[in-house]
Amino acid sequence: MGRQQQRKGAEAERELTLLLQGKGFDTKRGGSLTYGTIPDIVGLPGIHIEVKRRESLDLPGALRQAKTDAARFMDGIPTVFHRSNRGPWIVSMGLEEWLVLYSKAVSSGQNGTKGGE
């Protein structure tokens, strides 16, 4: 990975961390010198955050990386938080992971009833 890509990645991690903190979440960056040793961002319990800021993202590849890293760090559901230049932040995850997350929300009474009951 080139220095410019590393810098852009670190900027994206800082930006997203501040955005999440602004919404009341106690998130922290892993840090640019810790590549691969801790997650990009920590502080959302049960969610593994993989951060990407690219114009053309290999989303299946990023999801594979998130899944591998989530299993290694054992920190939660693998998600990819991503955006392009001047684009909004988007959160992507696999259907199976989304179903787990949604089922937990429904069972805690946050989103109505399960299965249209």
Token pair listed for 32: 């640019």
> pTM, whole model, 2 decimals?
0.86
**What CATH number has the domain bearing residue 77?**
3.40.1350
For residue 6, the model assigns a pLDDT of 81
**Which of residues 32 and 15 earns the better pLDDT score?**
15
Which residues span the domain enclosing 24?
Answer: 3-116
For residue 33, the model assigns a pLDDT of 56
Question: How confident is the model over 40-47, as a mean pLDDT?
Answer: 94
Lowest mean pLDDT among 8-12, 23-27, 55-59, 76-80: 8-12
Mean pLDDT of the chain: 89
| Domains held by the chain: number | 1
Lowest mean pLDDT among 2-11, 66-75, 104-113: 104-113
For residue 7, the model assigns a pLDDT of 85
